[in-house]
């Protein structure tokens, strides 16, 4: 249990990306967690305040003159330097495939209590805790381990933050998992922030203008992620559109039994009864409801005449509940800051 302000220290590797920026912004006002250091190869020497204020896509939040972000400068740290910092929590906000050297050094030195990896590198590694807080009891049941965040022999907690699309799909599918017949189909549209900052066809303004781009249409990583953790078969078709942030996920499934709209609505309301960030809507959710919000909206339940074919929609902000907000939720879940 965290009992006093600034009683946890946190460091971030790879802050330059959109998710790293959101994480820094959210932590600026956190009562229990203090950012001790930040590492980036491209941004060495600038303060966190300068970093936050220089982006057209983000809210310009004015920090108090005495806020420590005004003086905390971004560094460029090696794997060994990161592991030797004696920081309670280390967040790896790196592109896929780059986390392993940092994890190796952190495990070797054991100066930290928790690693949270925001990439896909450890989402299928059962020595890590894959954690959507609202669904951890399901993951624990599927993998036959104890509920809550797993402990390792060394005492180091290793958390793999789920993908943004995967979070939207799993929140929509989890209440239905035992009732679906066959394969669930998921059609997702994301803002172009989901394609990252590295220039590509999927974040090129000329390609996106008045357009929607399908990509990764067979065996996408998030399709495998959801199928693995919910222990069910899904098909997923991702798309990127002209707007900056947010995900709209339409899910279609055949059901084993006949249902009514009211019974489906009750199923979801009861399932997420104590989960404050999941909002159940009778109307179809939309991206405007979740932009710059920590919440996931699920609803728009539509049934075929025979009550066995269901369509619903799940919407969230891919940079917040789909990434940065979820990372902070996972920290708070372990340290019980409530």
Q: From the candidates 164, 186, 296, 315, which is the catalytic residue?
A: 164
Contact call for residues 273 and 323 (beta carbons, < 8 A): no
Cα–Cα distance measured from residue 161 to residue 200, given in angstroms and rounded to the nearest whole number: 24
- List, in sequence order, every beta strand (DSSP E) within 8-135: 8-13, 33-39, 89-92, 114-117, 129-130
The pLDDT of residue 149: 53
Instruction: Give the chain's end-to-end CA distance (angstroms, integer).
Output: 8
Cα–Cα distance measured from residue 8 to residue 76, given in angstroms and rounded to the nearest whole number: 22
Cα–Cα distance measured from residue 38 to residue 15, given in angstroms and rounded to the nearest whole number: 7
C-alpha closest to that of 302 among 273, 286, 282 = 282
The pLDDT of residue 1: 46
Cα–Cα distance measured from residue 252 to residue 234, given in angstroms and rounded to the nearest whole number: 10
The pLDDT of residue 59: 56
- The residue whose two tokens read 């910092």 is 85
The pLDDT of residue 122: 97
DSSP state of 57: T
Residue-level pLDDT, tens digit, the chain, 338 residues: 454 445 899 999 998 889 999 999 999 989 989 999 999 999 999 999 888 887 665 555 667 888 999 999 999 999 999 999 999 999 999 999 999 999 999 999 999 999 999 999 999 999 999 999 999 988 877 764 444 455 555 689 999 999 999 999 999 999 999 999 999 999 999 999 988 888 888 888 889 999 999 999 998 999 999 999 999 999 999 999 999 999 999 999 999 999 999 999 999 999 999 899 999 999 999 999 999 999 999 999 999 999 999 999 999 999 999 999 999 999 998 887 43
The pLDDT of residue 169: 98
Q: Tell me the domains of the chain and their CATH numbers.
A: 8-162+323-335 (3.40.50.720), 164-318 (3.30.360.10)
The pLDDT of residue 7: 85
The pLDDT of residue 201: 85
DSSP state of 151: P
Q: Which residues pair with 309 in a beta bridge?
A: 254
Q: What is the pTM of this model?
A: 0.92
Measured over the CA atoms of residue 157, residue 327, residue 22 and residue 119, the dihedral's sign is positive
Catalytic residue check, 164:
yes
Contact call for residues 29 and 6 (beta carbons, < 8 A): no
Q: How far is CA 250 from CA 258, 308, 316, in A?
A: 20, 17, 12
Helices and strands of the chain, counted as H and E runs: 10, 13
3-state secondary structure of 40: coil
C-alpha closest to that of 110 among 155, 54, 46 = 155
CB atoms near residue 292 (< 10 Å)? 12
């Amino acid at each position: 249990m965290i009992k006093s302000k600034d009683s946890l220290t946190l460091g971030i590797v790879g802050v330059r990306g959109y998710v790293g920026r959101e994480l820094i912004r959210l932590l600026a006002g956190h009562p229990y967690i203090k950012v001790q250091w930040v590492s980036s190869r491209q941004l060495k020497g600038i303060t966190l305040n300068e970093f936050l204020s220089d982006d057209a896509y983000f809210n310009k939040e004015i920090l108090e003159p005495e806020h420590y972000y005004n003086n905390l400068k971004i560094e460029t740290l090696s794997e060994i330097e990161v592991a030797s910092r004696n920081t309670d929590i280390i967040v790896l906000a790196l592109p896929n495939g780059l986390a392993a050297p940092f994890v190796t050094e952190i495990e070797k030195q054991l100066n930290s209590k928790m690693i949270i990896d925001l990439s896909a590198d450890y989402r299928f590694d059962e020595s890590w805790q894959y954690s959507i807080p609202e669904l951890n009891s399901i993951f624990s049941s599927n993998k036959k381990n104890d509920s809550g965040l797993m402990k390792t022999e060394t005492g180091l907690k290793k958390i793999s933050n789920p993908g943004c699309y995967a979070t939207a799909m799993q929140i929509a599918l989890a209440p239905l998992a035992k009732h679906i017949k066959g394969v669930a189909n998921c059609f997702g549209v994301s803002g172009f922030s989901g394609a990252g900052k590295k220039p590509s066809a999927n974040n090129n303004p000329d390609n996106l203008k008045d357009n929607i781009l399908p990509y990764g249409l067979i065996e996408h990583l998030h399709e495998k992620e959801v199928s693995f953790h919910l222990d069910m078969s899904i098909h997923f078709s991702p798309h990127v559109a002209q707007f900056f942030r947010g995900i709209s996920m339409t899910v279609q499934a055949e059901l084993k039994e006949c249902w009514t709209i009211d019974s489906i609505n009750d199923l979801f309301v009861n399932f997420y009864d104590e989960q404050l960030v999941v909002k159940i809507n009778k109307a179809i959710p939309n991206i405007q409801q979740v932009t710059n919000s920590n919440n996931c909206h699920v609803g728009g339940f539509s049934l075929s005449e025979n009550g066995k074919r269901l369509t619903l929609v799940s919407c969230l902000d891919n940079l917040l509940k789909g990434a940065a907000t979820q990372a902070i939720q996972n920290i708070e879940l372990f340290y019980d800051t409530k």
